[in-house]
Amino acid sequence: MVKKYLYLAFIAVIAVVSSCGEGTEKKVDVPKEIIEDGTAEVELDSAPIDRIIESFSSPIEMAASIESMDIPYSQKILVPTASADMFETNFKKSMGLGMLSANLGYLNVYKKVNTIVEYLTVIKRIADDLDIDQYFDFQTLKRLATNSDNLDSLMMLSVSSHHRMDEHLRSTGRSDLSALMVTGVWIEGMYLAVSVDELKRSDEMRNQVGDQKNILSDLYYVLKFFESKPHFKELITDFDALKEAYEGVTITTVPGETRTVVENGVTVTYSGDETVIQMTDEQYAEIAENIKKIRNKLISL
């Protein structure tokens, strides 16, 4: 009897002691190679890759940029929700989830409540399939979407749900799916940008597209890391063409003096740098073509 208690107590002590480490916040040492040149070499350890994946922009940022340029709303540039029926593999589901999340961001920014519920429903279905639905509070989101007083809360909850789903994929060893999710967000954001430029030419939007050259390089490293996973090779080939289209674009940063001022009670730091993007119309057209090709391939198969 005593032996049994002894054994149980021993197991309990070991279990508690070993769980202590898991309970503490992961202190992240920023990979040296990222700090030095803004990109990372492909390594076998997925932790540095996870750091890059987590850095990618929010599903709402491109939509917010578009809206802040006073560009009118257009539903026809969004992924049709019926396309989700074609997302049969986890590869397509993850990328599709990213794309639909970017669309949800767009709808949120333009306050299109009637369409939001339709997109929430599809996202919930994909999240179920990927077993990350516990981070997508569909009922609350739906309730917020049906009350126009709660649109800010809706926007925040939908963005934070997206990040929590993405984080959960990485924390459960599915970084490849997380990488696809951020790729989906990025490519759909770029698609929205080139589509609004098609509706009405915007040099500001074109600059924003050209400026993504270095971000694309980081994303490309992430995709290359997972090259051996199913379907990645084909996506990388498509990204090779996109990278090639960016080849001639030059981004120059002219250093300047940073200044800090107080505006309306808020301290504002203006970086003194100035970024100059050189891109011809032909180069832009080739980039836009490749973006559309990658995006439409996923929803037309």
Partner 1 sequence: MKKIVIALSIALLLAIAGTQEVAAQCKQQMVYKCATDGGNAIYLRDFNTKLNKLKSGEKDPGTKWTVVLNTGTRYRFILCTPPGLENKVELTLFDSQHPEENPWLKTDETRNVQDYVCRRSGMYYVSIKWKEGFGDQKTCAVGILSFVGKNQ
Q: Which residues of the chain form contacts with partner 1 (CB under 8 A)?
A: 2-3, 5-6, 9-10, 12-13, 16-17, 19-20, 23-30, 34-38, 51-52, 54-58, 60-61, 64-65, 68-69, 109, 152-153, 155-156, 159-160, 163, 204, 207-208, 211-212, 214-215, 218, 251, 253, 256, 258, 260, 263, 266-275
3-state DSSP assignment of residue 176: helix
Both tokens of residue 286? 């080739």
Instruction: Name the minimum Å distance from CB 291 to partner 1.
Output: 16
Both tokens of residue 60? 């709402």
Angle, CA of 250, 234 and 128, to the nearest 5°? 105
Instruction: Name the minimum Å distance from CB 85 to partner 1.
Output: 30
Contact yes or no for 42/225 (Cβ under 8 A): yes
58 phi/psi in degrees, rounded to 5: -70, 150
* CA torsion, ordered 112, 114, 118, 119, to nearest 10 deg: 10
Give 139-145's long-range contacts (Cβ < 8 A, gap of 24+).
Answer: 142/117, 145/113, 145/116, 145/117, 145/120
Instruction: Name the minimum Å distance from CB 92 to partner 1.
Output: 24
Instruction: Name the minimum Å distance from CB 218 to partner 1.
Output: 7
Of the pair 56, 239, the CB lying nearest partner 1 is at: 56
Sign, CA torsion 281/74/121/51: positive
Of the pair 81, 202, the CB lying nearest partner 1 is at: 202
Instruction: Name the minimum Å distance from CB 51 to partner 1.
Output: 5
Of the pair 25, 85, the CB lying nearest partner 1 is at: 25
Of the pair 85, 263, the CB lying nearest partner 1 is at: 263
Burial of 255 (0-12, 13-18, 19+ CB in 10 A): exposed
Of the pair 253, 296, the CB lying nearest partner 1 is at: 253
Contact yes or no for 184/101 (Cβ under 8 A): yes
Of the pair 92, 206, the CB lying nearest partner 1 is at: 206
Instruction: Name the minimum Å distance from CB 195 to partner 1.
Output: 18
Q: At what angle do helices 46-55 and 175-199 cross, to 10 degrees?
A: 30
Of the pair 65, 83, the CB lying nearest partner 1 is at: 65
Instruction: Name the minimum Å distance from CB 30 to partner 1.
Output: 6
